[in-house]
Structure 1
Amino acid sequence: MADLHFELVTPEKLVRSDEVHMVVVPGVEGEFGVMAGHAPFMTTLKDGELKVYKTAGAAPESIAVSGGFAEVGGKGLTVLAESAAA
């Protein structure tokens, strides 16, 4: 399966822009995983950790985020967070 384009942005800077296998996002209604081909939608984030899987079967990289939004669209996953720390 094709990779997912993932961007993590805060008000200060573009934190990450990468092609990844999957990202698990802490949404206000629960965690959800996004892979290439995911249906489009938008949700707000709760404070928590993004889990970024660079490849299938890889250990996840955790990035702490607080506040913001996540949008899944034709161009991939964009997370607009109030703050982010790896």
Structure 2
Amino acid sequence: MDKKQKKKSLEEMIEVVLFRIPKEIEAMRFYKSAAEKATDEAAKELFENLAAQEKGHEAELRRILNELKNQLNELKKEE
């Protein structure tokens, strides 16, 4: 893959990650809300766990985003 293709690939991956981050936040909020409304303790715990997983997904996507941006910046420096 040449530098132009690599740059395009990194830009596309960044776009996908940027699209997904708000979806993870939305899912986390949904599960937090469900946990707050749950009257059954098992359901409440399930929703809290799901919310925590979504928060973890968001954090991982942000880490990936930073790495992709760093790679793209390094590639641009080489131009």
Question: Which TM-score band (shorter chain)?
Answer: under 0.3
Larger radius of gyration: 2
Higher relative contact order (CA 8 A, sep 6+): 2
TM-score by length of 1: 0.15
Give the structure with the larger strand fraction: 1
